[in-house]
Structure 1
Amino acid sequence: MTSTMAANVDGQTCMHLINHFDVAKYRPPFQYAMGTKIGQGGLSRGVFQATSKTDRTVYAVKCIALGSACNDRILKQGIKEFKSILRLNQKAHENVLNYFYVDIVYFDSFPELRVLMECCQGGNLNQKNQQLSLQRKRYKQADIVEDFRGILKGLCYLHKNKILHRDLKGQNILFSTYGTVKIADFGSMVELAASTTATYEVQGGDGTITYMPPEAFRREFGSIGRAYDIWSLGCVLLEMLQGHPPRFCRLETSGNLAHLLRPVEIQAALMAGEKPWYEKKFGRKNCNDDKLFLKAAEDFLSQCLRPHANERPKAKHLLSHQLVIIKAAAAAALSPEEPTYIGIGNSPTPFHTHRIMQNNLMLAGAAAMNRSLMFR
């Protein structure tokens, strides 16, 4: 078969898929040039920057390879994700990523689904924490309050419009060029049928294990619903406070040596009702503004990280929480000197300080380090 004939066959296949899944009206009305890779998604081969050849508008393009068999499940999920978020975009929310167009093209001999989205050039929350760490800085309290308020507003909007995200985490919290937070990556989303989640309407958990709630593994805790995202929201707050993703760790009986749990151990810990360790020193001793912030943050976490789903508050109710409405003037900059400690663990005893050495069993293989760990 000549290259021209092959190209025609490829084009016919793509048009068949476009017509079959009724996405022709959502195709971009312009040509675009693909640029550098700016991110990685679960089933996608990556997220790339692309520029319109008509008006030079910059987009982020999520590219989902369909394979030689044109995997129907992946294609349906990708198009469902696009159409669901496009429906929301009719009443766009500033804290939810905008989706614009969808296309099916041939790439590397196979069909590929491409979703053109708003391009957030400020990176994600995980990257922001890494940059702050390299600069030996921490998230300022005022910034935590402002950014977290935006995340919560975005989540309220999703829940109000019957969208369960199921994969809230730092990598899926993006920042626009102007610093506005955006909830992104709806590859694990579920579109609910009603304003309240029916029993067992959602049959399984999804997402990243360190952000997943106990009910993702224990059906007796009840149905998987909006409370799933509330647990993950608490884990995102932990990430902002600590400067790294949530961790599950445990003291050895031999002494103060702690190790970070592996995925299979994390699942067992969640099923046993454990929470992520809250390990960080921040704030300034005898500072009233810090005490107000720390007290509000601790209370917010205690509400989100309740093991039983039906005990967690709704997102709309959390909008009136002290942490969210705290005045910017009271949210003073963090200071590493004279730290104030707060923590969440499984011990019923008051806060205790332990010197521990964490080994390199962390998911990413972190090096051993000495830290001060608070247990509650």
Structure 2
Amino acid sequence: MDSSVTSATYVRNISYSLRRKLSDCLDPYETWRDLIVALRKPNGEPRYTQHHVRRFEGLVAQGKSVTVELLNDWGTTNSTVGELVDILRSLNLLAAANLLLPEVLSKETQQVSSVKAEKCPPTLLLGEAPNPPAGSSLQTQTLLDDGGDDTGVSRFLYGELMRITRNFDDRSISDGGSRIGAGGFGTVYKGLLDSRLVAVKKLSPMEDMPLESLQLQFNQEIQTLKVLKHQNLVDMVGFSSDEQHLCIVYALMANGSLLDRLACLDGSPPLSWQLRCFISEGAARGLEYLHSNHHVHRDVKSANILLDENYVAKISDFGLTRASANRTSTTMMTERIVGTRAYMAPEALRGEVTPKSDVFSFGVVLLEILSGLPPADEKQEPQFLMEFRYDIDDEDEELTLEDFVDKKMSDWTKGQVESIYCLASNCLHERKNRRPVIKQVLSEIHSVVKTIFLDSQ
């Protein structure tokens, strides 16, 4: 690496020799496609359209490096090496990132290695307080999975999480506190961990949920996020379980939840139709990854679809997730009915756990994206958003699809909206075997996104 390259270096100033080394990492297996999708405009919309992608594809036939040409083009903006490295790391393209800033990444590796070099304490039962080695100044301990391999997930002391959240300051962010929001199983706080913004979810027992059940969900989420890694799943940094306090630490999602952005909470601007379709495609991609790995989320909803600084959708909240014991995506039964009523499929209310229930819930999310309305509202008729489709499909009712579409966006076309609405209706079919699988859902959304790109030319 050129020693003059820093995080602040403009991409356009990267030397040609270094660009060629990057191309050796990204051109094989067309990994550059992941990078081009991740590049965003300041407003969060894709920087490159399908037309651009086809143009870059043509370079391959000419014997040119797509990576080099992509960096040449993106480098005409004020993009920096730091931004590029962050994107490469988010895509798990660590070899390419290391070519640009090896010193920074090696320091992180050394920190992890130094933790591994310490004698690891025995695994603690939940609620059991750890006894750190005498004289040790370590704040975290690397969590090892059952096979003994490093997962890169840290185990934090509760006191450390108190420090970075300012004692879990319960005032909202707008009031100078640390509280980001509250969910069904706890409160989320903003923290600063080694110059990295994180979200700390502090789980809380409820009247209808004893501590044992909460610990079970805590364990479930940790084990799921240790095993499953994807650009459309939330990234877990670590957890804490000492002093009977259960906390999970995630990378902070700068744009909050899809639910809040659709409601324009805190004065955020309305999401454009193009951006909504991009978000829905990312969420569907995350679900497709879960289902292909034999997991059922069981609580798919807009509040559990988080958005990073580039509006990339990240599915979160895996405390209710179930993995198929026989590694197949078949229906399982459970005595405990869980989920959010406004999103629940008929069979989920009977205790069936199946991927098609996630598809049903995602159908409600698509209706939210179309309308900007909440999933349930006691003041509206009908109360549940999923039931609006009966009025829309009934010619005797006054409600039309055009009336249903969110008035806060203007860049939609009738054909695209009809495609997403029909897809949502198919997802919401009462009979699960009549619903599409998530791979089909993803394919249809991708077709709409492709149409948007073509129409923008």
1:43 aligns with 2:185: yes
Aligned residues: 285
Counterpart of 2:280 in structure 1: which amino acid?
A: F
The alpha-carbon distance between structure 1 residues 211 and 199, as it changes in their structure 2 partners (threshold 3 A), is: closer
CA distance in structure 2 between the partners assigned to 1:244 and 1:71 by the alignment: 34
CA displacement 1:189-245 (0-9 Å, x = unmatched)? 2122245333434455421111111112347xxx43000000111100111111122
Q: Which residue of 1 aligns with 2:92?
A: none
Q: Which residue of 2 aligns with 1:87?
A: 227
CA displacement 1:309-367 (0-9 Å, x = unmatched)? 111111112222165453223667xxxxxxxxxxxxxxxxxxxxxxxxxxxxxxxxxxx
Q: Which residue of 2 aligns with 1:246?
A: 375
1:225 aligns with 2:354: yes
Deviation at 1:175, TM superposition (A): 0.8
Asked if structure 1 preserves the Cα contact closer than 8 Å seen for 2:298 and 2:353, the reply is no
Q: Which runs of 5+ in 2 are unaligned?
A: 1-125, 132-140, 145-152, 167-177, 393-398
1:207-286 aligned at under 5 Å gives the runs 207-218=339-350, 223-247=352-376, 259-261=381-383, 280-282=403-405
1:153 aligns with 2:285: yes
Judging by fraction of residues, say which structure has more helix: 2
Q: Which residue of 2 aligns with 1:57?
A: 196
1:166-181 aligned at under 5 Å gives the runs 166-181=298-313
CA distance in structure 2 between the partners assigned to 1:12 and 1:242 by the alignment: 44
Counterpart of 2:188 in structure 1: which amino acid?
A: V
Deviation larger for 34-43 or 119-128? 34-43
Counterpart of 1:234 in structure 2: which amino acid?
A: G
CA distance in structure 2 between the partners assigned to 1:308 and 1:12 by the alignment: 43
TM-score (norm 1): 0.65
The alpha-carbon distance between structure 1 residues 56 and 277, as it changes in their structure 2 partners (threshold 3 A), is: farther
TM-score (norm 2): 0.54
1:333-352 aligned at under 5 Å gives the runs none
- Partner of residue 78 from structure 1, selected from 199, 218, 221: 218
CA distance in structure 2 between the partners assigned to 1:47 and 1:288 by the alignment: 34
Asked if structure 2 preserves the Cα contact closer than 8 Å seen for 1:61 and 1:117, the reply is yes
Q: Which runs of 5+ in 1 are unaligned?
A: 1-10, 17-21, 251-257, 333-376
Q: Which residue of 1 aligns with 2:238?
A: 101
The alpha-carbon distance between structure 1 residues 12 and 152, as it changes in their structure 2 partners (threshold 3 A), is: closer
Q: Which residue of 2 aligns with 1:373?
A: none
CA distance in structure 1 between the partners assigned to 2:432 and 2:336 by the alignment: 14
Asked if structure 1 preserves the Cα contact closer than 8 Å seen for 2:191 and 2:197, the reply is yes
CA distance in structure 2 between the partners assigned to 1:127 and 1:70 by the alignment: 29
SS across alignment from 1:77: helix
CA distance in structure 2 between the partners assigned to 1:127 and 1:324 by the alignment: 24
Q: Which residue of 1 aligns with 2:47?
A: none
Asked if structure 2 preserves the Cα contact closer than 8 Å seen for 1:139 and 1:243, the reply is no
The alpha-carbon distance between structure 1 residues 13 and 329, as it changes in their structure 2 partners (threshold 3 A), is: closer
CA distance in structure 2 between the partners assigned to 1:283 and 1:130 by the alignment: 11
Asked if structure 1 preserves the Cα contact closer than 8 Å seen for 2:285 and 2:442, the reply is yes
1:118 aligns with 2:287: no
Deviation at 1:134, TM superposition (A): 6.1
The alpha-carbon distance between structure 1 residues 283 and 235, as it changes in their structure 2 partners (threshold 3 A), is: closer
SS across alignment from 1:39: strand
Q: Which residue of 1 aligns with 2:96?
A: none
The alpha-carbon distance between structure 1 residues 81 and 295, as it changes in their structure 2 partners (threshold 3 A), is: same
Asked if structure 2 preserves the Cα contact closer than 8 Å seen for 1:63 and 1:114, the reply is yes
Q: Which residue of 2 aligns with 1:198?
A: 330
- Partner of residue 326 from structure 1, selected from 450, 453, 457: 450
CA displacement 1:118-160 (0-9 Å, x = unmatched)? 110211111111218968x754221122111101000001111
CA displacement 1:281-301 (0-9 Å, x = unmatched)? 4499xx997132022112211
Deviation at 1:181, TM superposition (A): 1.1
Asked if structure 1 preserves the Cα contact closer than 8 Å seen for 2:304 and 2:316, the reply is yes
Q: Which residue of 2 aligns with 1:7?
A: none
Identity %: 25
Asked if structure 1 preserves the Cα contact closer than 8 Å seen for 2:220 and 2:320, the reply is no
Asked if structure 2 preserves the Cα contact closer than 8 Å seen for 1:60 and 1:116, the reply is yes
SS across alignment from 1:101: strand
SS across alignment from 2:353: coil
Counterpart of 2:165 in structure 1: which amino acid?
A: M
Deviation larger for 226-235 or 188-197? 188-197
Deviation at 1:114, TM superposition (A): 1.1
Q: Which residue of 1 aligns with 2:78?
A: none
Counterpart of 2:322 in structure 1: which amino acid?
A: V
